[in-house]
Structure 1
Amino acid sequence: MGFYFEKFESRQPPEPVPYSPTIELIWQFLVVVALILGANYIRWRWMESLNYDALWFSIPVALAETFAYIGLILFTINLWMTRDEPQRPPPFTVGECGDDHSESDRPISVDIFITTYNEEEELVRISIRDARAVRYPHPIDINVHVLDDGRRPLMRQVAEEEGANYITRSNNIGFKAGNLRNAMEQTSGDFIVICDADTRLLPTILEDTLGYFRDKDMAWVQTPQWFYDIPEGVPLPRYLEARLGRPGRWLGRLVERVAGKVNIGEDPFVNDPKMFYDVILRRRNWANAAFCCGAASIHRREAVMQAALRAFAVTIDREVEQYARQVKHPELRENLSEAMRTQAVLDTELTPYKFHVSEDIYTSIVLHSDPGRRWRSVLHPKVESKMLSPQDLLTWMIQRFKYAGGTLDICFRDNPLFRGRMTLAQRLMYLTTFWSYLGCIWNFVFLVAPIIYLFTGVPPLKAYAMPFYLHVIPFIIMNELAFMFGTWGIRSWEGKASYLSFFSINFRALWTVLKGEKIKFHVTPKDRQEGNFLGLVVPQIAIVALTAVGLLYAAYQVFILGHQEKLQSLVVNAAWGLNNIISMLPMIRAALWQPPDEADVGKDTAGAAAPAST
């Protein structure tokens, strides 16, 4: 059968962003200046600019700015420097990868796990074939396993036809984490490669990554996820030419001279993960804080099992101590402890991969906070696999809600910041992740603040006068300059806009966690879901509509009714509101996006040679 992504098979993955010491030094200088200016702005906001006639409005906005500034500090620490782990040659034998030299001459054995539940069997077949094509320069024992939680006879048949081992179980306890645990009980490879049903490994993945495991404390290596099916879009001049003729092409070229390259219809869901892997996660290497993201990661079996056993023992001790401390008599306490320990061992499950909707980052936390060993991790910057991106807004939102809800659930229920053996740098990196998802709170304030002003005329600060401009404009300019260099080589505006427009998804996730509800595990669909998705972006549409109406109302007050004293405040809040509108529009557009049919693809992409990565 044919798949929509077959037309993208020739695409090649992008190269990692090259490291430049000069660019890094400029970034560090500029961001320090920006942080100093930002600290002065926050000081001024609290000490000199509060609107005491409307503290109900002024204080929440000042709080939002303060929390956002804390987030800026954390993000700066995250992006501070790039320190890639030196890539070492692939080991010949397992003895080069650990402490145990009893089998030092034995070839390395690797288990490739392909997890699946309800995905199309023929899609998994392609992933199996790519996994079996993985090469290695030395003798190695590679076994491909299909982990089917759907218990499908046809999936078993496909696995057998492709030479893969088929593993299933009688229940779906623990979802993906339980599926991985079940497979670990039936396999014995020294290393485990985690794949989703659509993860298509490149042949170089093992020869490029196993060298990191020459460090006996290296627990896992995460490689970047690359969505090779992201729509490239149509260049603006060609798009306008098809509709307006030659004048349209001239107009498109004029726009591109001012704004740079513009492609219509490219990546409507901002799926390109290059900012996350090539900047955010890669720059956590210096702190030994690159966490696991599941698919396309390679794990040392010994590390996963050792950390799981220690976590198991800690859980047992904690539960026994909780009940034993209630008994004052020493002998009775000792007897109760023994009885409780036996019962707790029987009742507690050993989970190499934590049973959680975000089992990847949760397992990372367990390993990084292991009290018995300083396990290490690394983000390998080169793409070693390709996979499919969400093809509709519903699928995209299911995925984002799962990420947000799972991370916030860990934050509130098993926060690593207050336990374990993590270093300060590691704790700050995990705090940055948690803080980013809490940003929906202050982002909502930033979205509604200009609306409140436009309809009421009440400003969130004492006055939009010269002191305001002297404090805020240098900070904004220096901050933008700093992050231009800090994310050099990456298109970052879409990420900033989507972070603001995520507020409704993250709010829902936060509310779900605070209510004590369990974040459910939804398998991300691999096929486009049909339907009207405008209902999913009602909050974003409301922000756009209210801001637009507010702008018209405030303009009427100033220019028709003659309230010229409000002109300066109107200009500031109009710029603020327009920025919010522009940030909401991509998600609204994504709700309306339809993939081009084959005829349109042939017409619009004819002659286009640039890969998706560009």
Structure 2
Amino acid sequence: MDTGQQERAAARRLLLIRIVVLLTALLGVNYVAWRWLFSVNWDAWWIAVPLVVAETYSLVDSLLFGLAMWRLKERGEPPAPPPGLTVDVLIATYNEPIDLVMRTARAALAIDYPHRTWVLDDGNRPEMRAAAEAEGIGWITRSEDWAGMPRHAKAGNLNNALLVTEGEFLLILDADQVPLPSILDRTLGYFDDPRMALVQTPQWFVNVPDDDPLGSQAPLFYGPIQQGKDGWNAAFFCGSNAVIRREALMQLGVSRYADEVQAGVQRALRTARSVLRQARRGLGPDEDGVRRALDSIEHDIGRARRELARGEALMDVTYRFQQRVAEIRRRLVEADLTAVQSDLAAIAELERSTDEADDGLAGVDLSALDQLSARDWSPLGAVETVQALVDAVDVDLGSEAQPIMPMATISVTEDMATCMRLHGLGWRTAYHDEVLAHGLAPEDLATMLTQRLRWAQGTVQVMFRENPLLQRRLRWGQRLMYFATMWSYLSGFAALVYLAAPIVYLTIGVLPVQALSTEFFVRLVPFLVVNQLLFFVVAAGRPTWRGQQYSLALFPVWIKSFTSAFGNVFLGRSLDFAVTPKTRQESDGPAWHLVRPQLWAIAALVAAALVGVVRIGTGQAHPAGTIFNLLWVGFDLAIFSVILKAARYRGFDPTATPAPIPDRARRGAA
């Protein structure tokens, strides 16, 4: 098929997708609006309201997915790479087996396009260094500047390497992602666009059987979802298998440094004003000099803020402000010394009086003692306040190992936040839908759960700290594309409701809708059918069922990611970074203990189904309602069946049939 035929086929497919998106949106809005207005059983609000809220959540999720698909971009054959570019291939590692890292490093060394290969060894292992350097591969570990400083996991490792290497472009690889020789030839051509910051390629795994019990391949995400985001210039960095322009990263690092310093200075000035006003309230009526000094400092705070608002250089503004405060502090100290001298004279007079009195202090005039005890000896509190103010506006990032941190450090995953910031600076990204590296997926349930929890936690952290809907530098399409990914991780709460609703009806007969009428089914069923049709059309033959299963079956992971990220961001609780193990973690048998919530859910569904059958057999339940909810339970059990398979999974059998490389990617594998 020539280029023209490919473009026409892509246009026809996009038209079909848009038609189905419109039908899904219309039917979904029609159903959910009717549910809110006419169908909620307010007598059973405790289950009815959560259910309609969960349905509304699912509708928003569907609308965001449809919006992404509206601009699904199929890029086709990539541009040819320009000659003469300098490229650094960076392989991030911490504690992975050395032979695994070296397999990736040797493959990186064999990439066709001229480049330099580096192993970024965050574990600082002498044996890793020896193995790399023996084969002419560069080795980088953290500098001494990082001692005693926050390390920021993989983001810190990459940030450290950015200040050591020099290539115009960076190919980022995880330790287990073995690149194909053509990976740079197939991606560098996109950078003919001077505003192209990043080209992301899929992650595909060689150790996954055809039935993919752990849902590792993610063909919907590494395909239509990223292609849809690409259409909105919102395809984002996924941590590996991506080429990034160094200039874009360094601009981001410098920009973030300037923004953070300016924001820090503004916060310090606001806080200092409050502190000064508090200090002034504690002054006595005879301390007009100190009061005038503090008023002068407050005036200088306002002047500094106005200068910053006019865009004057931050360093100049803070320097002038510090000089003025230093002068005022000097005068305060001089005044304090005068006060101390006066205090000493008062003490000397007191000592003389007690010496002259026969009864010591008892013989001194009580009015003189009262005056002495009420005296403010010196305005030390005000002086310390001023000094704290000066320290607060010091333009310094001394709490970090290096001031320039291009890779975002606000979450346990660096990729999404970094890319969102690049888009905010006006850079472009591309998603090249071709497998150009072969990785290793988790081979046991425990590792998979660790990986998914970290991904979800990182995404939710970004939502809490830099919600894309509030990022004014992003276009609205980009905001919604980033938010769609974050929104999807809230599905755990909706899953709880979807589990509870049929159980409640089958066991105690409480219906969350006013009636299971014809109108209910006429509105619901077409929406569900067309929604599944949308998945079928956009998937274009890629399997999506496993992804749909895990979006609900991992509801405990999604809930934990939300609560733990909330605790980290708003309550200051620790959120440890866990490197995904690259080898199977041994266990004695099925890992049922890892999926206890799901097993309890399965048991509750089965028990509810049995109760429902008994109730309908004894005439205690409405037949239509019971049959509908039994079908609902059957669907939930089909969803959760993947958990039973995952808990029994014993790792990839090399003699088994692996998942095939997607047809779209065979050029890269050839």
| TM-score > 0.5, shorter chain as reference | yes
- TM-superposed deviation, 1:34: 2.1
Query: Aligned equivalents of 1:292 and 1:393: distance in 2?
Result: 25
Q: CA deviation at 1:157?
A: 1.2
Say yes or no: does 1:396 pair with 2:341: no
Cα displacement string for residues 7-66 of structure 1 (whole angstroms, at most 9, x for unaligned residues): xxxxxxxxx999633232222112211221111111211111111321111111111111
Q: 1:160 aligns with which of 133, 147, 168?
A: 133
Give 1:366 shift.
1.5
Q: CA deviation at 1:69?
A: 0.6
- Residue 538 of structure 1 corresponds to 596
1:571 aligns with one of 611, 614, 627 = 627
| RMSD of aligned Cα (Å) | 2.2
- Superposed counterparts of 1:150-299, under 5 Å: 150-169=123-142, 173-232=151-210, 266-299=211-244
Match of 2:408 among 354, 359, 382: 354
- 1:260-280 per-residue CA deviation (whole Å, 9 max, x = no partner) reads xxxxxx211011122111110
How far off is 1:305 after superposition? 0.5
1:390-422: per-residue Cα shift (whole Å, max 9, x none)? 100011001000000010011112223212411
SS of the aligned residue for 2:231 comes to helix
Could you tell which deviates more after superposition, 539-548 or 21-30?
Answer: 21-30
State the match for 1:255 in structure 2. Answer: none
Question: 1:122 maps to what in 2?
Answer: 99
- Counterpart Cα distance in 2 of 1:397 and 1:367: 30
1:155-180 Cα shifts (integer Å, max 9, x gaps): 11110122101111255711111111
Q: Say yes or no: does 1:449 pair with 2:507.
A: no
Structure 1: unaligned runs, 5 residues or longer? 1-15, 93-106, 233-265
Q: Does structure 2 retain, via aligned residues, the 8 Å contact 1:128–1:162?
A: no
Of 79, 82, 98, 1:91 maps to 82
Cα distance in 2 for residues equivalent to 1:117 and 1:496: 32
Distance in 2 between residues matched to 1:610 and 1:314, nearest whole Å: 46
Cα deviation per residue 1:223-258 (whole Å; 9 max; x = unaligned)?
1111122113xxxxxxxxxxxxxxxxxxxxxxxxxx
TM (norm. structure 1) is 0.84
- The aligned counterpart of 1:10 is none
Compared CA separation, residues 482 and 177, structure 1 to 2 (3 A): closer
Query: Residues 596 and 419 from structure 1, CA distance in 2 versus in 1: closer, same or farther, beyond 3 angstroms?
Result: closer
Alignment CA distance shift 1:148-1:448 (3 Å): same
In the alignment, which of 509, 512, 516 is matched to residue 564 of structure 2? 512
The amino acid that maps onto 1:149 is D
Which 5+ residue runs of structure 2 have no aligned equivalent?
A: 1-5, 274-294, 305-316, 323-389, 664-670
The 1-side partners of 2:234 and 2:191 are apart by 16
Query: Match of 1:586?
Result: 642
Change (3 A) 1:594 1:413: same
Letter in 1 for 2:135: E
Aligned CA distance change for structure 1 residues 595 and 358 (closer, same or farther; 3 Å): closer
CA contact (8 A) 1:540 1:588 kept: no
In 2, are the aligned partners of 1:85 and 1:285 still within 8 Å (CA)? no
Conserved 8 A contact 1:190-1:300:
yes
User: Does the CA-based 8 Å contact 1:202-1:384 persist in structure 2?
Assistant: yes
Cα distance, 1:518–1:280 mapped onto 2, change above 3 Å: farther
Aligned counterparts of 1:17 and 1:360: Cα–Cα separation in 2: 31
Q: Which residue of 1 aligns with 2:378?
A: none
Aligned pairs, number: 536
Post-superposition offset of 1:89: 1.7
TM-superposition CA deviations, 1:503-561 (whole Å, max 9, x none): 110101111122233432111101101124211111111111101011101111111x2
Are 2:486 and 1:434 equivalent residues in the alignment?
yes
User: What is aligned with 1:149?
Assistant: 122
Q: Retained in 2: the 8 A contact 1:17–1:489?
A: no
1:40-59 equivalences under 5 Å are: 40-59=30-49
Deviations 1:445-489 (A, max 9, x none): 112211111111101101112121111122222222232212222
Matched residue, 1:365 = 420
* Cα displacement string for residues 284-318 of structure 1 (whole angstroms, at most 9, x for unaligned residues): 11111001001111111110010111111011111
2:19 to 22, 29, 35: 29
Which piece of structure 1 moves more, 405-414 or 587-596? 587-596
Largest Rg, 1 or 2:
2
The alpha carbon displacement at 1:380 in A equals: 0.9
Q: How does 1:486-501 map to 2 (within 5 A)?
A: 486-501=538-553
Is the CA contact 1:71–1:432 (under 8 Å) kept in the aligned structure 2? Answer: yes
- Paired with 2:399 and 2:441, the residues of 1 have a C-alpha distance of 39
Residue in structure 1 matched with residue 612 of structure 2 by the alignment: 554
Distance 1:597 1:192, change over 3 A: closer
Alignment check: 8 A CA contact 1:226 1:387 kept? yes
Aligned residue number for residue 477 of structure 2: 425
**Structure 2 residue 53 is matched with structure 1 residue 108:** no
Cα distance in structure 1, aligned partners of 2:8 and 2:659: 19
Question: How far 1:85 sits from its partner (Å)?
Answer: 4.4
Range with greater deviation from structure 2 (432-441 or 589-598): 589-598
Write out per-residue CA displacement over residues 93-134 of structure 1, whole angstroms, 9 at most, x where no aligned residue.
Answer: xxxxxxxxxxxxxx3211111111111111111111100110
424 and 346 in structure 1: CA distance in 2 versus 1, 3 angstrom threshold: same
Task: Give yes or no for contact 2:444–2:651 (8 Å, CA) kept in 1.
Answer: no
Structure 1: distance between partners of 2:490 and 2:416: 17
1:501 is displaced (CA, Å) by 0.7
Counterpart AA for 2:299: P
Give 3-state SS (helix, strand or coil) of 1:460's partner. coil
Q: Distance in 2 between matches of 1:610 and 1:401?
A: 24
Alpha-carbon separation, structure 2, partners of 1:609 and 1:515: 40
- Counterpart of 2:406, as a letter, is P
SS at match of 1:48: helix
SS in structure 2 of the partner of residue 344 of structure 1: coil
Secondary structure at 2:516 match in 1 = coil
1:473 corresponds to? 525
Q: Which amino acid aligns with 1:562?
A: G
**Equivalents in 2 of 1:290, 1:433: separation in Å?**
11
Equivalences for 1:329-348 in 2 at 5 Å?
329-333=298-302, 334=304, 339=390, 340-347=392-399
In structure 1, what residue type is equivalent to 2:605? Answer: T
Q: 1:125 to 1:18 in 2, by over 3 A?
A: farther
Q: Distance in 2 between matches of 1:574 and 1:203?
A: 53
1:307 matches 2:252: yes
Distance of aligned partners of 1:149 and 1:314 in 2 relative to their CA distance in 1, 3 Å threshold: same
Q: For 1:195, what is the secondary structure of its paired residue?
A: strand
Structure 1 residue matching 2:171: 3-state secondary structure: strand
Are the equivalent residues in 2 in contact too, given 1:30–1:482 (CA < 8 A)?
yes
For residue 330 of structure 1, what is the amino acid of its counterpart?
H
